[in-house]
Structure 1
Amino acid sequence: MTALPTQRLTRRLLASLLFTLPLAPLQAQEFTATTDPARAQVTLPEPANPALPSLILIGDSTVRNGRDDGQGKGAEGQWGWGTPIAHYLDTSKINVVNRAVGGLSSRTYRSSGHWERTKPFIKRGDWVVMQFGHNDASPVNDNSRARGVLRGTGPEKEDINNLLTGKPETVFTYGAYLRGYIAEIRAAGATPVVASPVIRKRWEADGVTVTRAGGNFAGWAAEVAKQEGVAFIDLNEWGAKRYEGLGKAVVATLFPPDPETVHTNWLGAAVNAQLVIAGLLQNKVLPEDVYKQRFAPDGSDDRPVVDARKVKVEAPRDAKLPSIVLIGDSTVRSGGQNGAIGWGERLAPLFDTQRVNIVNNAIGGRSSRTFFTEGRWASVLEQLKAGDWLLIQFGHNDGARIGDPAGKNRGSVPGLGDETVEDTRPDGSKEAVHSFGWYLKRYITDAQAKGAKVVVLSPIPHKDRWKPEQPRDFENYAAWGEQVARAQGAHFIDLTLLVAQAYRAVGAERVDGFFSDARTHTNDAGARFNAERVVEGLKRLPDNFFQNMLAKPSKLRLE
C-alpha cells in the first residue's frame, strides 16, 4: 500500500481554519502571577440574551486568555478557543458565554470566587463545558499562586494553611473538583460537559509524534466523565492527531514564537475550537440548528452525505440539442439545503436554452472518487452524446483523510499518479483508492469516447481564501486539474483564480453576502455571481461553441 504524503492532509486541515474571523475583544482585567486569586476582580462576559439558552465555558487561559484581546498583537497574540468557537455557532439562537479565567486551576476557579459569580448565569436548559488541567499540576501551597490540586480522581484531601491567602484550606483531587462542578451544574438543570486539557506543542524525539498527556489530567478527565455519565471531549488525543497530520513546521504557525508551547495564537485557537465543535456534535450536546459550521475531529465537514440513490439523474430537456453537462459537488449543486445554492443551478439563465440543454448532475458531498464509485458517473455517461460538453469541478471533498471514518470514504490520493491506497468501506469491504488525477482522466477519456468535449474547472474559492495577501486556495487541485486536462486534450478553466479576482473587484463587504454558511457554500446571489464567472471562462476557450449559445443580451457583469 502506498503511503499518503503529509502535504495533502496539511493543506486540507489548514484550509478548514477560519483564520480571518473578525476579532471581538471583550473587556477584562488581566490575571497575573502576583494577583491574589481570592481578591482578583476579573470582569467576565454575561449572556447577551438571557431569554436564550447558553453555552457557558469555564477553564483557564487556553479557553480565555488575559483580556481576550491577543495582548494587542492581533491574530499572532495568545488566544483561547473560547473566543473563535462563537463564530461557528448561531448566536441568535444560543449565547456563548466564555467565563474562563487565565492562570486558574479547577481548584482556584472555585476558591477565587469565580465559580460563585458564574453560577447565577446557569439556568435550566443550558450547557457548561469545563476544561481544566494546565495549571492543576502547580504546587499545592506556595506564596506565588497556590493553585495545585492533589493528583488523581479519588477522595483524598489535604488540609493546608495557604501561604498565599494566609487562610486554612482543604485541597482535593482533580477528579473531586470536576465532580463538584458536575453536581452543581446538574442541580441547576443544565448539562455538564468535560473536556481534557488542550494538547501542548511538544514532540517526541522522532519529530512526528506529539507527546500526549493521557496518563494524568487528560486521563483523569476522561475517567470522571465516564464515572459521572457526562459528555467528554478528548482535546488531548484529537489535538495530537491533528498536529501529527499537520506536521511540526505547520503546527509552529499555530502558536506565538517559541518558547511558547501551551497558548495558541488565533489560528491555533480556531483549531481547538473546531475540536470542541466536533466533540459537541459527537456527543449530541447542542441542538442541530445552532451550528453554523460542523467539524469532525480531523477538521473535515461533519454534515451527513446525502444518499446518491435518492437524487435523480437529470436528463436533457431536448435530446436533439447539444448539452452542457455538469458534474461536481455541492458548490455546483446544493439544492437550496440550508440556503445553499451551487453555481450550476444558476447557469441556465445565462444561455439560450432553445439552442443548448444545461444538465446539472452534480451532487452534494461528492469527491472525484465517490462520484465515480457510487455509480453516478455511469448514469451520466449513458446520456452523453457526440457534440455535448462535460464540465467537471471537484476538489472540495477530495482532501478527506483516507482510512478515517470522519472522511466518509471521500478522500482521493493526492496527485496524478497511478498509485492506490486501500480504504475500508462501512460494510467492511476494501477499496483501492486512486489519485485525484486518475479519476479526472477517467471522466475525460470516457466522455471523449462518446464524442463529447470536456472542460475541467478548479474549485471555487472559500469565503476566507481569495484576498491577495492570503495563500492561493486549491493550489494543488488547480495544478493537477490543469495538467490532466492538457495531457488528455481537454480544456481547463482556473475558476478558483477567476472567482477570486472577481471577489477582489467587488470587495469584502459584498463577498460576505454571497455565502450561506461560514466559508464554503454560496447563497443565491453568490451562485449567480459565480455562474457568470464560469461563463466568462467558457467564452475565453478557443472553441466558439459557447459564443452563439449565450442568452441575449449578455448578463455577465460585476456591478
Structure 2
Amino acid sequence: MLRTLTALLSLLALPLAQAQTFTAATDPARAQVTLPAPARPELPSILLIGDSTVRNGHDDGQGKGAEGQWGWGNPIAAYLDASRVNLVNRAVGGLSSRTYRSSGHWERSKAFIKKGDWVLMQFGHNDASPVNDNSRARGVLRGTGPEKEDINNLLTGQPETVYTYGAYLRGYIAEIRALGATPVICSPVIRKRWEADGVKVQRAGGNFAAWAAEVARQEGVAFIDLNEWGALRYEALGKETVEKLFPADTPQETVHTNWLGAAVNAQLVIAGLIQNKLLPDAFYTHRFAPDGSDDRPVVDARKVKVEAPRDPRLPSLVLIGDSTVRSGGQNGAYGWGERLAAFFDTQRINVVNNAIGGRSSRTFFTEGRWASVLEQLKAGDILLIQFGHNDGARIGDPAAKNRGSVPGIGPEAVEDTKPDGSKEMVQSFGWYLARYISDAKARGANVVILSPIPHKDRWQAGQPRDFENYAAWGEQVARANGAQFIDLTMLVTEAYRGIGAERVDGFFSDARTHTNDAGAVFNATRVVEGLKRLPGQPLKAYLREPPP
C-alpha cells in the first residue's frame, strides 16, 4: 500500500510537464510521426513506449530496407500471434522518459490502454542528455530518488520541473496499473562498444540499466535486462558477426541496429516476457531464451523411439522430415504425415512416420535418427523426405541449434562449432538429400523428395512462391540421383488459392508454420495427389478413399 501511494504521489508531481503546449517547431517527432493504434481493439494489446531503439523514425528503415536503422519493436511482431494479441509500437525516436510524457505522446498512447493489456517501456539512451538546452532539452536527473529541479526550458520558453529517471518510470507504472494493465520495464539495449580485448562488451554507462532494474524491483514490476543479455549475446556471437547487426554504411554507429540486429534484441524481449511468465503461451509464434536459442527444448532424437513397421512382412511407406510432417499435437499442431495413413490400406502397407520436430536435413542425419530409420528399410519400401523449414538457420549462430545446412546442392562444406566445443563440417542441403537417396536405394527402397509445405503468409496470388530454392534443389537432387520429386509447396499453394484466405487461416495452430488437425488432413490430401501423379504410380495399389 505504501509503495502504491508513493508511486501515485510521484505521478501527481508531474502535471506541470504534461501541461506544456509544444509546436511543430519545438516537437518535430510529434509533428512528423504517425503512431499506430491497436489493429483489433477487441483483443488484448501489448503497447511499446520508448525511443528510437524501439521504433526508429517512420519505422521503415529510412527507405533502405533491412540495412537501414530499425528498432526492435518492428521485428518482434513476427514472434507474436496477431490473431490473439495486438502489438502496438508507440515508441518515438529522440525522446526520453521525460519528453515522451511532456510532448504529449504518453497522453495519446494512454488512451489505448485497457484492462488486461501490457505496456513495455524502454528509456535511457536519451535521458543522459542535457536537462536544459535549446536543442532537445530532454535530459533527466540522475538516479531514482525524489530530487527535482525547476527550470525555465530554453527550448519551449516555459517553466518545467524535471525529475529523476526513476520518478518518470514510477509515474508510468502508476498510471498503467490504474488502467488495469501490466507495466514491464526494459533496460536500454546494449551499445556496440567493446573492451580493449575485443572480446568483452562494455555494459551501459550512466547507470540507467541499474536504475531501471532498481525501480522494477522496488515497484514489483517485471524487468527485462536488455543491457546484460544483449552484452552476453554479442560476446557469444563475436565482434565480426556483431558488425553485421548494424548498418554497413555507418560503421561508427553503436546504438541503432539494422533489421537483423533489431531482431536479435526482439528475441531478447520475447525471452524476457517468457521468463517473467507475462503472456499466455498461445500468444507466441516463436520462443527464445536469453541466449537467443529457441526456448522450446529440441527433443533429443536418441530419446525418441523410432517407429517400427506394424507388420515387417508388408512393404512400408516411410516418412522422414520435420514438425510440418509430425508435430504430435503439441500446442494443437499436427503434421500432414500424421493424417496420411487414412488414405492407405494399412492391411497391405505400413505407414511409418519417423519425422521429428525441429530437425533439418542436417540434424536428422547427424543425430543418428537416419541410421535408425535406415536399419528398417527393405527392398520395395518407399521413402518420403521433406526438409527445408529449418535448413535456412544461420550456421554458427547459437540460436540456430546447429540446424542450418549450406545452401545449394554442391560439395561445399562449412565448419561449425557446437555448444560443447566440438567441430562439425556442415554439408549442403543437396548433399544430405543425396545421402538419404543413396543409402535408401542401397537397401532396395524407392525415394520421393517433397518440397516443404508453404507458410500461411506465402501462398496468395502475386506473392513470390515459398521455398523456391529448396524446391529447386530438391528437384535437382532427385533427378540426379534416381529419385522422384513432388513440388508439395505449389500443390498446397494452388489448393489454398482455391479455397481462400478465410479457410486457410483456420488451418493453422500458430501464426504461420504449423497446421492444426484440419490443415494436416488438407495437406495430406495434397501429398496423395502428388503421389498419384508420379510416373508409374508406385503406390496406386495401396491407396483407398479416406473416411469422410
- Measure how far apart 1:62 and its partner are: 6.3
The one-letter code of the counterpart of 1:361 is N
Matched, 1:517 2:510: yes
RMSD: 5.1
Quote how far apart the aligned CAs of 1:114 are: 5.5
Alignment equivalent of 1:146, drawn from 137, 145, 163: 137
Once residues 341 and 547 of structure 1 are traced to their aligned partners in structure 2, the CA distance between those partners, rounded to angstroms, is 25
- Aligned match of 2:355: 362
Q: Is 1:421 aligned to residue 412 of structure 2?
A: no
Residues 103 and 373 of structure 1, relative CA distance in 2, 3 Å threshold? closer
Contact 2:70–2:256 (8 Å) recurs in 1: no
C-alpha displacement at 1:380, in angstroms?
Answer: 1.2
In 2, distance between residues paired with 1:269 and 1:129? 16
Retained in 1: the 8 A contact 2:29–2:92? no
* 1:306 CA displacement: 2.4
**Cα distance in structure 1, aligned partners of 2:530 and 2:434:** 21
Counterparts in 2 of 1:19-30, with a 5 A limit? Answer: none
Question: Residue 445 of structure 1 aligns with which residue?
Answer: 438
Q: How far has the Cα of 1:478 moved from its partner?
A: 2.0
**2:140·2:162 contact (CA, 8 Å) conserved in 1?**
yes
What is the CA-CA distance between 1:138 and the residue it aligns to? 6.6
Change in CA separation of 1:442 and 1:156 when aligned onto 2, cut-off 3 Å? farther
Distance 1:388 1:36 in 2: 69
Q: 1:434 to 1:227 in 2, by over 3 A?
A: farther
1:461 equivalenced with 2:450 (yes/no): no
Give yes or no for contact 1:419–1:434 (8 Å, CA) kept in 2. Answer: yes
- The 3 A distance-change label for structure 1 pair 53 and 490 is closer
CA–CA distance in 1 between the matches of 2:291 and 2:147? 38
Please point out which of 142, 145, 152 is paired with 1:161: 152
The unaligned stretches of length 5 or more in structure 2 are 1-21, 193-200, 218-222, 249-254
- For residue 346 of structure 1, what is the aligned residue in structure 2? 339
Q: Shift of residue 154 of structure 1?
A: 11
The structure-2 alpha-carbon separation of the partners of 1:86 and 1:36, relative to structure 1 and needing over 3 Å to count, comes to closer
Matched, 1:292 2:280: no
Q: Who is 1:321 aligned against?
A: 314
Please report the TM-score for the alignment, with normalisation by the length of structure 2: 0.72
Shift of 1:178: 6.6
Supply the AA of the counterpart residue of 1:423.
T
In 2, distance between residues paired with 1:103 and 1:425? Answer: 39
Q: Distance in 1 between matches of 2:297 and 2:25?
A: 46
Counterparts in 2 of 1:36 and 1:270: CA distance versus 1, 3 Å: closer
Q: Deviations over 1:206-257 (max 9, x none)?
A: xxxxxxx97878x8544444566632235977799899979989979xxxxx
How far is the alpha carbon of 1:448 from its aligned partner? 1.0
Name the structure 2 match of 1:14.
Answer: none
Kept after mapping to 2: 8 A contact 1:132/1:197 = no
Q: Secondary structure at the match of 1:545?
A: coil
After TM superposition, the structure 1 = structure 2 runs for residues 163-202 of structure 1, keeping only pairs within 5 Å, are 163-171=154-162, 180=170, 192-196=184-188
1:393 to 351, 370, 386: 386
Q: Which residue of 1 aligns with 2:496?
A: 503
Q: Which residue of 2 aligns with 1:372?
A: 365
The Cα offsets for residues 499-550 of structure 1, whole Å up to 9 and x where unpaired, read as 2222223222222222111010011221122112212222222233222222
The alignment partner of 1:410 has SS state of coil
Q: Distance in 1 between matches of 2:531 and 2:239?
A: 41
Contact 1:39 1:112 (C-alpha < 8 Å) held by counterparts: no
Q: How many residues align?
A: 502
- Cα-to-partner distance string for 1:169-224 (whole Å, 9 max, x where unaligned): 35467x55676568758997955321435999xxxxxxxxxxxx97878x854444
Question: In the TM superposition, what is the alpha-carbon distance from 1:401 to its structure 2 partner?
Answer: 2.4
Alignment TM-score, normalising by the size of structure 1: 0.71
Q: CA deviation at 1:345?
A: 1.0
Pairs within 5 Å for 1:23-422:
32-35=24-27, 55-60=46-51, 63=54, 82=73, 85=76, 88-89=79-80, 100=91, 104-112=95-103, 127-132=118-123, 136=127, 140-142=131-133, 146-149=137-140, 160-171=151-162, 180=170, 192-196=184-188, 221-225=208-212, 230-233=223-226, 276-281=269-274, 283-296=275-288, 302-415=295-408, 416-422=410-416
Query: Offset at 1:85?
Result: 4.9
- C-alpha separation between the residues in 1 aligned to 2:36 and 2:465? 38
Secondary structure (helix, strand or coil) at the match of 2:351 reads: strand
Sequence identity percentage: 67
In structure 2, relative to structure 1, the CA distance for the partners of 1:199 and 1:453 (3 Å cut) is farther
Could you tell me which residue of structure 1 aligns to residue 478 of structure 2? 485
* Contact in 1 for aligned 2:80/2:285 (Cα 8 Å): yes
8 Å CA contact 2:326–2:335 kept in 1: the answer is yes
Using the TM superposition, give the Cα deviation of residue 34 of structure 1 relative to its aligned residue in structure 2, in angstroms: 4.0
Aligned equivalents of 1:181, 1:155: Cα separation in 2: 12
